[in-house]
Amino acid sequence: METVLGALDATGAEVIVVIPDLEADWGPRYPNLRFYRRPVQLAPLLAECTLAVTHAGHGTTLDCLLAGVPMVQLPLHIEQLLVAERLAATGAGLGLRPTHVGTGFANVLGEVLPRYREAAATVAARYRNRPRTRALEEVTGLIGQALEAGR
């Protein structure tokens, strides 16, 4: 966590960080970051966002893709790792395994924007007119097909 926060703070960019169990002394340690302990409304932020750093949750990934925002994902669980791998396949971002965050996060920040911004915009344009609920229907349909094939 400290590696990620330090690298984000060093960019000098406006960074919004949501950490529910934030330690009280972290705010002063990272003066360029805006910390929140409660969830924030993501949609208004994504309209102005140039990069999202997430744990590769399904909903957040979908919201970022539909907004055309490239991502660096830091998955903690296998499901999140699978989401990060699919994100990388779109070209709209990448994931870093926990073992690589300490040595690779700062370097990745510099390459994500120029490298993945166009792909993220392409994904957003491709799905712009599709209702958000359709994504859920498609995912559940694929899961159903997989279950049927496995019988």
Which of 93, 109, 34 lies closest to 61, judged by CA?
A: 93
% helix, strand, coil for the chain, step of 5 = 60, 10, 30
- Tell me if the domain spanning 41-150 has CATH number 2.60.40.1120: no
What tens digit of pLDDT does each residue of 99-135 get? 889 888 988 887 776 778 899 999 999 888 877 677 6
pTM: 0.83
What tens digit of pLDDT does each residue of 60-72 get? 999 999 999 999 9
Segments making up each domain of the chain, as ranges: 41-150
